[in-house]
Structure 1
Amino acid sequence: MKKKILSMMLVAAMTVGTLAGCGSNSGNGNSEKGTDTTADAGEEVTIQFMHMQVEQERQDVIAKLIEEFEAENPGIKVEQMPTNEDDYDTKITSLGGTGVLPAVMEFSQDQAKTSVTNDFIDLEANKEVIDGKGEDAFFDGALNVIKTEDGNDYVGVPVSGWVQGIWCNTAMLKEKGFDVPQNWDDVLEIAKAFYDPDNKQYGIALPTSESAFSEQVFSQFAISNGANVFDADGNVTIDTPEMKEALDFYKELSSYSMPGSTEVADVKDAFVNQNAPLCLYSTYILSAVQEAGFLDDVELALPNKTQQAAYGCVIVLSIASGLSDAEKAAAEKFVSFMLEKENNESWLLMAPGGIQPVLGEVAEDAAYKENEAIVPLAHLLDEVGVAFDNLKLFGCVDGKNYMVMGDVTNKGILSKMINNVVVQGSDSQTELTNAQAEVEAMLK
């Protein structure tokens, strides 16, 4: 997302805990101006769209979309509210506490979950838009991770997203007779074959620092082995044989990565500089790979033991609670407009390659694939679509999304466990037991 294109930074922004304060939702998107938009039918309605696209060229794209929407919908005016990511959550909390939320807000799925907890979002309005488009229009995984905790509603309407998996340099793999890995065993075999630290060559690039990035990468291996932080009843399930097997495997795999507590830049640089044939990273690595000149040799694979597991972030547009009937109807029309194929493609092309389609018709659209910004990436669209269909996150189980997972991440419980085992050499069983106890104590 914009300047914060590294996946750890994105996750740090999106995995915020429960925001302080929960104010009244009786206001509307125009209260700051004192505008009464609940008047008789036919009177002009003004709504606000708050988003994180602060670069001028992106604001210009959104302005053009708004202009087209207003031309199709006389009587509705949409005002942009571009807001820097670093200030976004604080501003949402402040506006929500005083009842002046913008009618439509851009969120990551976890930011949206926090706003649902604070009663800032109209779940019914979101569902009406999704139902109007049709659930089957979206990739399954993209919808699964934006469901509410009870599994009945959606925290927002998906418009784009990014996914993370195992990026493979196929040219390097072919030099040693390897294909793209299909499972854990394949990944480990490749990592061993390429490991030559004396010549600054590594088998795979993984994060091992005490960070959210390490947690999200490890989560893919854990979930691919059937492990999760919670079960369907909300019980903590960190200390399990499946989680231990994943943690032990991650430790072994990390021994073929760069030494020490590795972070975002370490992983990215190792792959982009071709010091490793494999890395775990988000789709935001693609622009750097393109600049390095080997994008055609890159393919995406997913960790797979008992199932494939992709990590990712779904970007949603959420409709605020407390709107007048006229504002709510206008907001629903605007969000629905952003789901129309050409309009959604315009949104995606603000960050080609970084953000990816969540709508099947966009991913399959010849015009989108043939856009000059997408052509170099077109061979990856099917793989990215598969990743979205296999999007699985810690705390998301059987259609339920446990909001407390954000607090687990923010406290660094799992990332500390990973770093202690992989870098500090602690016993994996001891660390699993400690992490289990810490999360259980936090819930109490």
Structure 2
Amino acid sequence: MRKSLVLLMALMVLALVMSACQPEVVEVTRVVTEVETVTEEVEVTRVVTETIVETVEIEGEMVEVTRIIEVPAEPVEKTVIEFWTTDNEEERVNTYEAVAARYMEMHPDVEIRIVPIEEAGITQRISTAVAANRLPDIVRMGIERVAAFSADGILDEEAATAVIQDIGEDDFRAGPLSMVANPTTGIYSAVPYDGWIQALWYRQDIFDQLGLDAPTSWDTIQTAAAALPGNGNLLYGIALATDPAQNYVQQVFEQVAISNNAWPFDEDGNVTMNTPEMIAALEWYTSLQPYAMPGPQYWRGAREAYQYDQAGMFFYSTYIMDDLVDGSGLESGGNVEIAVDDLALNTGFAPMIEGPNGDSASYGQLVTLSIMQGADPVAQDVVKFFLTEGYQDVLALAPFGKVPVLKSAVDGWKSSSEYFQYYSDETLDQIANGYESMQRWLFRPDYDAAERAVIGDIEGQLLIPTVVSAIALEGTLTPEEAAQFLQEQVEGLLADRSE
């Protein structure tokens, strides 16, 4: 009995010992997921993932953990293309940026920076950039700047020519190509982009009421300017360009000068700014001031005075045609509330001016995309994109003021705006064919590169606006004195360009 008890107790102890030696089996499921997103302000074009497997201690045990981490790719240095544009109103800048965004989406290694600039200050801006060795890659500029900048050696003419040839010279209208051709090098200084025709816009309804002839000559313009004030709500016969700080003055005066056969140089290259023809043009132009708004005026004030039913005539480009329907943008924001019913339908269009000797002149503008010296080669592709896939978007901003230079773009342009319905077929034909008849001092075929550069200098230094203001507003110069001042200034400019 006693032996049995001892044996039983021994068996129980052995069972306990064996039980203690057995491992405890516990079913444990561990799921460890760690996702880390790393964002840094670096220039990247893609995101890559990296899988990391490491052993960590969790609750006293060593466990393998897999981590998936999004990490930036190796930084990619983007090609930055700086694009200055004189299309500087907010809506237009937005469109340029949208076209640029489409290009960048297709080319993620390129960044296009659209920089709006003032047209009147472009020469100073470029001079500052040259001094700082920080020229932009592309500049949207008027043709009047191209010859001067080309002579200064800051335009990449080979790049411009390559773009034109890549698009196809045959697709460009002949007029614009001839305007950008460098007579010295035989290649193109810049790429034509768009343009406009200048006209004297007038109140056709009031002209009809008063029996006035269309303002197409010096005599008919002056007669109308004197007759219009006091009819209806009109306070002034004409809104005259007189602001000494605005190139708009030269754009208007130059048409008047050409209509009197007044040019800056003769066929032998002599400066002719003090000829009887030039003096007469200065005298006639400034004689309109008594019928015009007081104070310095430029394009913004001119168009607003016409839309507010204050002035009966004003010089402006074809850009104005949609504004005569909806009202132009105000500098302070919003749009002009047009004070005349059906103003567009009651507006006449006079693109030609006839001088006292029977010479007629029209005026227009060609805008270019100029590729600057030192520009990255990608700039050529950007210019091409703005002339092809992005072209109609830009033209549609103001179809009347952005007449296409490409034949292939004309059909799309004609369907780009509902405003075409407000104007006659005759007016539209004059606009579409305007490149073949527009005149500028700059376009005279017998002028060489130096003379064309000087014309750019005349405009860049605001010489014409300065003397017009001095005669018409300040009364500090007579037309004869102003012409002599111009003669001396232009002789100096030509001497500088001829060195």
Q: TM-score, normalised by structure 1?
A: 0.72
Measure, in 2, the Cα distance between the counterparts of 1:56 and 1:191: 34
Q: Greater relative contact order: 1 or 2 (C-alpha under 8 angstroms, separation 6 or more)?
A: 1
Counterparts in 2 of 1:91 and 1:262: CA distance versus 1, 3 Å: closer
Partner of 1:181: 215
Q: Which amino acid aligns with 1:221?
A: V
Counterparts in 2 of 1:300 and 1:360: CA distance versus 1, 3 Å: farther
Partner of 1:84: 116
Counterparts in 2 of 1:98 and 1:360: CA distance versus 1, 3 Å: same
1:158 Cα shift?
1.5
Output one character per residue of 1:81-134: Cα deviation in whole Å (capped at 9) or x when no partner.
111315977776676667775654433334544543443322122123334545
1:133/1:336 contact within 8 Å kept: yes
Measure, in 1, the Cα distance between the counterparts of 2:135 and 2:293: 46
> Of 429, 450, 453, which aligns to 1:403?
453
Measure, in 2, the Cα distance between the counterparts of 1:409 and 1:346: 30
Measure, in 2, the Cα distance between the counterparts of 1:62 and 1:335: 12
- The DSSP-based 3-state class of the residue aligned with 2:384 is helix
- The DSSP-based 3-state class of the residue aligned with 2:361 is coil
Q: How does 1:66-81 map to 2 (within 5 A)?
A: 78-81=110-113
Q: How does 1:38-437 map to 2 (within 5 A)?
A: 46=79, 48=81, 50-52=83-85, 61-62=95-96, 65=99, 78-85=110-117, 103-133=137-167, 137-139=171-173, 141-148=175-182, 150=184, 152-178=186-212, 180-196=214-230, 200-211=234-245, 212-259=247-294, 261-290=296-325, 291=327, 292=338, 293-302=342-351, 303-305=353-355, 306-312=359-365, 314-322=366-374, 328=377, 330-340=378-388, 343-362=390-409, 364-365=410-411, 367-372=412-417, 374-375=419-420, 379=424, 380-398=427-445, 400=448, 402-423=452-473, 424=475, 426-437=477-488
Measure, in 2, the Cα distance between the counterparts of 1:59 and 1:420: 35
1:157 Cα shift?
0.7
1:231/1:397 contact within 8 Å kept: no
Measure, in 2, the Cα distance between the counterparts of 1:140 and 1:256: 40
Output one character per residue of 1:200-219: Cα deviation in whole Å (capped at 9) or x when no partner.
43332212343433232111
Identity of aligned residues (%): 27
Measure, in 2, the Cα distance between the counterparts of 1:163 and 1:177: 27
1:229/1:395 contact within 8 Å kept: no
- The DSSP-based 3-state class of the residue aligned with 1:404 is helix
- The DSSP-based 3-state class of the residue aligned with 1:434 is helix
2:177/2:192 contact within 8 Å kept: yes
Higher mean C-alpha displacement, 97-106 vs 205-214 = 97-106
> Of 483, 489, 496, which aligns to 1:438?
489
- The DSSP-based 3-state class of the residue aligned with 2:198 is strand
Counterparts in 2 of 1:405 and 1:111: CA distance versus 1, 3 Å: closer
1:49 Cα shift?
5.2
1:137/1:361 contact within 8 Å kept: yes
Measure, in 1, the Cα distance between the counterparts of 2:441 and 2:134: 33
Output one character per residue of 1:298-351: Cα deviation in whole Å (capped at 9) or x when no partner.
343222331322143x3222234446xxx64x54444334333x6321121234
2:137/2:374 contact within 8 Å kept: no
Output one character per residue of 1:43-69: Cα deviation in whole Å (capped at 9) or x when no partner.
x99562513367786566446645766
Counterparts in 2 of 1:371 and 1:434: CA distance versus 1, 3 Å: closer
1:266 Cα shift?
4.0
Structure exhibiting the larger radius of gyration computed from Cα positions: 2
Residues matched between the structures, number: 393
Q: RMSD of the alignment, in Å?
A: 4.0
Q: Which amino acid aligns with 2:387?
A: L
Higher strand fraction: Structure 1 or Structure 2?
Answer: 2
Q: Which amino acid aligns with 2:315?
A: L
1:368 Cα shift?
2.9
Structure 2: unaligned runs, 5 residues or longer: 1-42, 44-76, 328-337
- The DSSP-based 3-state class of the residue aligned with 1:168 is strand
Counterparts in 2 of 1:320 and 1:269: CA distance versus 1, 3 Å: closer
1:395/1:405 contact within 8 Å kept: yes
2:271/2:490 contact within 8 Å kept: yes
Measure, in 1, the Cα distance between the counterparts of 2:392 and 2:315: 27
Structure 1: unaligned runs, 5 residues or longer: 1-32, 34-43
Q: TM-score, normalised by structure 2?
A: 0.65
Counterparts in 2 of 1:191 and 1:347: CA distance versus 1, 3 Å: same
- The DSSP-based 3-state class of the residue aligned with 2:113 is strand
Counterparts in 2 of 1:332 and 1:265: CA distance versus 1, 3 Å: closer
- The DSSP-based 3-state class of the residue aligned with 2:202 is strand
Q: How does 1:15-34 map to 2 (within 5 A)?
A: none
1:139 Cα shift?
4.7
